[in-house]
Structure formats: structure tokens, C-alpha cells
Amino acid sequence: MCRHLAYLGTPIKLSELLFDPPNALVRQSWAPRDMRGGGTINADGFGVAWGTTRFRSAMPMWSDTALPRLAATTVSGVVLAAVRSATEGMPVVETACAPFQEGNWLFSHNGVVRGWPGSIAGLASRLPTTDLMTLDAPTDSAVLWALVRDRLRAGVSLAAAATEVVAQVEAAAPESRLNLLLTDGSQIVATTVGHSLSFGRRAGSVLVSSEPLDDEPGWEPVPDRHLLVATPSEVTRTPLGRA
Ligand code: GLN
């Protein structure tokens, strides 16, 4: 059910996240290790954003012939990338692939909103009409992004926006899986509700990822139902309230 990662810190080549490590994101697209809640591979597209530049495609990451060269020659200190396994009934299109973006804000969702679209129609209807008319795609993840973005635009912090949206969506759509991943270029915020997540820190950088990229020591799993706030110098994990 989708795999995603976010990196912040000393600039690195995109290939060091997407292709080089033994369990790089491209490997997670065809052989993920820890898929929960259905789905076997993540072949319904991918996206990668570095800084404010974004590249998305509806094709499997492993099949893109331009990406390896691009990744080997692009260096960035802010990266968010995802591979997608479309939830049944949702379209396989480029615009349904994370990262969703506005300016410096980058967002990804790994999971599913149960009973979509009816279950969260009430929440969505509180958004400005123009936001609903300009959703990236008719998917649960695009609606979640619109809900998060609405709060960010109002000046709410990344952590508060993610926590509030998880709480509201869980109330409206119980049993949803809501691993959100968000960055503004200065911190990474992530939630674990139903799916795996780990983080690793090296001098000057932090990497948050659905799965560890290698078997080296230093990866820490994030327990379910937690909020993670990470910068290269500090990582905090806070339990989320019960749904
Ligand atoms: N439900 C979302 C989609 O279809 C995310 C899917 C996932 O996490 N596999 O795009």
C-alpha cells in the first residue's frame, strides 16, 4: 500500500534514496518488505520532489528510463518521494501520485480512507469550493492533502495540521489507514496509523521512510499511532490519541 520517504539535511544525490541502497525506493516498488492491509507491489506510479521541483509518473518507478540518470545527477537537501499502489476503485493517473505540493510544502499519504468518498464528504464540504474543483485527482489522498493544505494556509503548524486531519478523518471514517508524510523543507512530520515507518539519522541529516533502506544499524521503527517530528538535529515521537 504505497511506500514513501522524506529526507532533510546535507544535500545528497536522489539516487542515494531511490536506487543505490539494497532496499531503495525502487526496490520497494517491486519487492516491498512490510506491506500491510493488502497490496503486493507499488506499480501504479511514483513521484519525487526535491526542493520545489517535482517529477511524477503513472508508470512503475522501475520502468522509467530517464529517472536513474536524473537521480544520479540531481543533488538536494530536501526530498520527498513515493511509489503508489492504487486503492481499488481509484484511478491510475500521474496526478494521483504523491508528492502533492504547494510551494515548499510536500505531502504523501500511505493508506486508505475507509468508506471513501461518502465517509469524508462532510469534512471535504467544509473546504473552499475552488479547492474541491481543483483537486489533483479523485482519490482519498488528494482530499487528505486538501484538508492538510487548508490548515497550513491558515498558518497552522505541520504537526498540528497532520494531527487534526488524522483525528477528524478517523472520527468520520473509522479503520482508515493514515500514514501521512509532510515537509516544508525545515522539518519532516509523519503519522503512523496502520502502516510501517522508520527513521534514521546521520550527522547533518534525517531520513524518514516506510521501510529501512538497508540493513545497517541506526534505523528506528516508529510504533503505530504516533506523530513523528524530525529535523537533522532532533526527532520527537508523540503518541496519537485513540480514535
Ligand atoms: N489510497 C491512496 C491511493 O489510492 C494511497 C494508496 C496506498 O497507500 N497504497 O492513491
3-class state of residue 82 by DSSP: strand
CATH number of 3-239: 3.60.20.10
Give me the percent of the chain exceeding a pLDDT of 90.
91
Longest dimension (CA), the chain: 48
Please give the Cα distance from 190 to 175 (Å, whole number): 18
The full set of domain ranges for the chain reads 3-239
Average pLDDT over the chain, rounded to an integer: 95
Instruction: Indicate if ligand 1 lies below 6 Å from the C-beta of 192.
Output: no
Instruction: Indicate if ligand 1 lies below 6 Å from the C-beta of 111.
Output: yes
How does residue 30 score in pLDDT terms, banded at 50, 70 and 90? Answer: confident
| C-alpha cell of residue 6 | 522524506
Instruction: Indicate if ligand 1 lies below 6 Å from the C-beta of 35.
Output: no
| DSSP secondary structure of 10-33 | EEEETHHHHTSSTT-HHHHHHS-S
Beta bridge partners of 208: 6, 199
Compute the C-alpha angle 6/8/9, nearest 5°.
155
The rounded Å distance from CA 204 to ligand 1 centre is 31
Q: How many CA atoms lie within 13 A of 226 on its CB side?
A: 16
The rounded Å distance from CA 100 to ligand 1 centre is 13
- Mean pLDDT to the nearest integer, 112-135: 97
The rounded Å distance from CA 192 to ligand 1 centre is 15
- Greater confidence (14 vs 202) lies with 14
- Residue in the block written with cell 504516533: 226
Active site residues: 2
How does residue 37 score in pLDDT terms, banded at 50, 70 and 90? Answer: low
The dihedral over CA atoms of 70, 72, 76, 78, expressed in degrees to the nearest 10, equals 80
pTM here is: 0.96
Residue 144: predicted pLDDT? 98
Residue 104: predicted pLDDT? 97
Number of neighbours of residue 49 by Cβ within 10 angstroms: 24
Q: Is the ipTM of this complex over 0.90?
A: yes
Which amino acid residue places its CA nearest to atom 10 of ligand 1?
Answer: 86
Instruction: Indicate if ligand 1 lies below 6 Å from the C-beta of 86.
Output: yes
The rounded Å distance from CA 104 to ligand 1 centre is 22
